[in-house]
Structure 1
Amino acid sequence: MPSSRSQAALIGIALLGLALTACQDTASGHVVGRNGARVVETVTNPPIDGCHRFPEGVTNVDNQTQSNLVLYTTQDCTVPPGGQSNYLDIGNSDQAVKATGPWHSFSFASE
């Protein structure tokens, strides 16, 4: 029986290692996009890599993650000519202004 205990311990250590590695690839918490008072989307523990699109433009974004965000008016996380992006710190909220229009996507800022 000692070998089955050793195998169980090794499997447990391997699973713990996988779980810890997976946590590093996600932003712990929520990103909430609203259009006025209506919630458009809540993203829970999103991957930190890549571009994340809102299903429609949002006028308010709450960053309830442990990572900083960059908000974009485009759907592909790019800044259009003459446009801008917006940096959103951990635990903060942002409201789109009429001059920029609604936010359509976000990515996580490199830290």
Structure 2
Amino acid sequence: MRASRSLAALTGSALLGIALTACQDQASGQIVARHNGRIVQNLTNPSVKGCHRFPEGITQVTNQTQSSLRLYTTPDCTVPPGGAYVFLDIGATDQVVRATGLWNSFSFAPE
């Protein structure tokens, strides 16, 4: 028996939806990290899990992903005593404030 076009389209859509759901462990887009204007790192579709360490201290981060970030001055995504992380929203760019120091790592904010 031949399957109708509608059934084939529905089946194809369902398979695509399952495939896209399986890829949610990656942030869609790019994160651009700079040190004094020089691009240090350009990450495309990074994993949303865990802590990501920058190769050197960063002065500016542009978040072109579909997820919000947390920026840390420590290399292991921890907040030092008396410190805090910086929240960087979707599509935003932020620069460090001299008093806080350079950013050394980031993680994705839970959604």
TM-score where L is the length of structure 2: 0.82
Report % sequence identity: 67
TM-score where L is the length of structure 1: 0.82
Give the alignment of 1:8-87 within 5 angstroms: 16=16, 19-87=19-87
Alignment match, 2:4: none
CA-based RMSD of the aligned residues comes to 1.8
Measured against aligned partners, the alpha-carbon deviations of 1:39-87 in whole angstroms (never above 9, x if no partner) come to 0001110111100010001000000000000000000000000111100
Residues 1:98 and 2:66 aligned together: no
Measured against aligned partners, the alpha-carbon deviations of 1:14-40 in whole angstroms (never above 9, x if no partner) come to x85774244211000001100011000
User: Unaligned 5+ residue runs, structure 2?
Assistant: 1-11
Q: How many residue pairs are counted as aligned between the two chains?
A: 100
Where in structure 1 do 4 or more consecutive aligned residues deviate above 4 Å? 15-18
Cα distance in 2 for residues equivalent to 1:23 and 1:32: 21
CA gap 1:18/1:55 in 2 versus in 1, 3 angstroms? farther
Q: Which amino acid counterpart does residue 79 of structure 2 have in structure 1?
A: V
Cα distance in 2 for residues equivalent to 1:19 and 1:104: 33
